[in-house]
Amino acid sequence: MRSDYGAHAVIELARRYGQGPVQCAEIAASQKIPEAYLDQLLSGLRRAGIIHSVRGPHGGHELARDPRQLTLGDIVTALEGPVVPHEFVHSPSSDAEGTDWWAACAVRNAWLEAAEASQHVLDRTTIQDLLHQQVSIRAHRAEQPGQGMQPPQPALLTTEN
């Protein structure tokens, strides 16, 4: 998934925010992303104004905005397009053959609601939030050496009747 790798790359740049440009090879190595693929993703992020690049021997990539002002939604939209598909928003009520789309309207509305909810979560999740979560997860792993690479398990939720 392009946006997943893109988010990891942007989080790495957020970790180094304000420290100058970071070379593609450094990002690729630290986030375990194939460098050629990462270069494609960075081009998309640059076109979207999420990062800017500096050429030359001391060049690399930097965030174009503060990580507190950049969201996961920005990255997903830049690399994959909008979460709410165009056809859900702008579909006709019937097609050329006269097929009535109202029968499918309930399903379309459910998909639209799910996509809008996803977009809301992505738009409220800042890169700074994700960076803090990543730091917390790494600290937890350091405290729990036997857990390997598994993220901490959330507490079980209980419901009251």
Q: What is the pLDDT of residue 108?
A: 76
Q: What is the pLDDT of residue 159?
A: 45
For residue 60, being part of any structural domain is answered with yes
Q: What is the pLDDT of residue 138?
A: 84
For residue 52, being part of any structural domain is answered with yes
> By residue range, what is the domain housing residue 49?
2-89+102-141
For residue 118, being part of any structural domain is answered with yes
For residue 20, being part of any structural domain is answered with yes
Rounded-to-integer distance, Cα 141 and Cα 153, Å: 11
For residue 55, being part of any structural domain is answered with yes
For residue 80, being part of any structural domain is answered with yes
Strand partners, 126: 71
**What's the CATH number where 32 sits?**
1.10.10.10
- H or E, element range at 121: helix 105-124
For residue 97, being part of any structural domain is answered with no
Q: What is the pLDDT of residue 161?
A: 42
For residue 120, being part of any structural domain is answered with yes
Per the CB < 8 A criterion, the answer to whether 127 and 11 are in contact is: yes
Mean pLDDT per 10-residue segment, the chain (161 residues): 94 96 97 96 97 93 98 96 67 56 69 89 97 90 70 46 42
Sign of CA dihedral 57, 31, 144, 126: positive
pTM, rounded to two decimals: 0.77
Counted domains in the chain: 1
